[in-house]
Amino acid sequence: MRAVSATETAPDTYAWAVRAGDLRVRAGRHLAVDGLDLTLDTGVHGLLGPNGAGKTTLMRALATVVKPAGGTLTVLGADVAGRRDLRMLRRGLGYLPQHFGFYPRFTVREFVEYMAWLKEMPKSVIPGAVQRAVERVGLADRADTKMKTLSGGMVRRAGIAQAIVNDPRVLLLDEPTVGLDPEQRMEFRDLLRGIGVDACVLVSTHLVEDVAAACTDVVLLDQGRLVWQGTPEQLSARGGVENAGDSAIERGYSAVLRAYRSAA
């Protein structure tokens, strides 16, 4: 049986899962997100953009790890910039950072349990929720294996398990498919599609095929700004034979970025 988290029973009083207006976020001294306007709701949103576009910095702001330097940002109806106590909001979030730490001697189960505890899940639901999350990422047979003995792809799957353990309303995944083998990537796409039915999922990736296969919406960033937002099919339709790429969606990506840069 699926564990029902506190956030699921809370009333929806917000129009959008994520809403950013003229958002500015620093990475070090650099304004890595610089005037971003974006709204996201239920579904799987693929976050694309060249190296340094500001994807990780945006994810960090949405995850409430870094405070915005300016503009507005609301997540699940809560004002991220102005609010001091973000604990309640964090209970409804799931976040897989690009690089994440863990105690190497923890087993997969202990790692995911620990993260569930940090998210303040009720004690009684944690064992069941952990088991379910570990199963969903295909690590049930490794649940009692120490983190330090896992392969890179398995560590990433454990990272995905901790991100989804609380059935988040907003799930933020920064390059989740790095290191996954092809079979795991296919299963991961199914997992994303399932979660995106009733949650807002934002997945950053350089693998444009993952976006075409698993996402309902594409968000393209460049230099900290929103370049384009639409469906994968609409992005594919933007490309032509003259654009770089091995697939229609890659060609669409190249075309949109090129048009934006030449207009800027």
Q: Which of 43, 46, 49, 176 binds ligand ATP (CB under 6 A)?
A: 49
Helix, strand or coil, per DSSP, at residue 239: coil
Q: Sign of torsion, CA 71 175 98 114?
A: positive
Q: Which of 56, 177, 184, 236 binds ligand ATP (CB under 6 A)?
A: 56
112 binds ligand ATP (CB under 6 A): no
Given the DSSP bridges, would you call strands 200-204 and 217-222 parallel, antiparallel or unpaired? Answer: unpaired
65 binds ligand ATP (CB under 6 A): no
53 binds ligand ATP (CB under 6 A): yes
The residues, any chain, with a CB within 8 Å of residue 101's CB and separated by 6 or more, are none
Distance CA 22, CA 31 (A): 12
Q: Helices in the chain by DSSP H: which ranges?
A: 6-9, 55-62, 87-90, 108-118, 126-136, 152-164, 182-195, 208-214, 232-238, 248-263
Largest CA distance in the chain: 58
Closest contact distance (angstroms) between CB of 240 and ligand ATP is 25
97 binds ligand ATP (CB under 6 A): no
- Stretch touching ligand ATP by CB under 6 A, among 45-53, 154-162, 163-171, 177-185: 45-53
| Residue window 9-28: x/- pattern of binding to ligand ATP, with contact defined by CB under 6 A | ------------------xx
- Stretch touching ligand ATP by CB under 6 A, among 10-18, 44-52, 141-149, 185-193: 44-52
Closest contact distance (angstroms) between CB of 24 and ligand ATP is 12
Helix (H) / strand (E) containing 200 = strand 200-204
Q: Which of 19, 24, 45, 55 binds ligand ATP (CB under 6 A)?
A: 55
| Half-sphere exposure of residue 173: CA atoms within 13 angstroms, side-chain side | 35
Closest contact distance (angstroms) between CB of 37 and ligand ATP is 17
Distance CA 49, CA 202 (A): 13
Q: Which of 5, 7, 57, 166 binds ligand ATP (CB under 6 A)?
A: 57
Q: Which of 3, 32, 125, 212 binds ligand ATP (CB under 6 A)?
A: 32
Residues forming the site for ligand ATP (CB under 6 A)? 27-30, 32, 49, 51-57
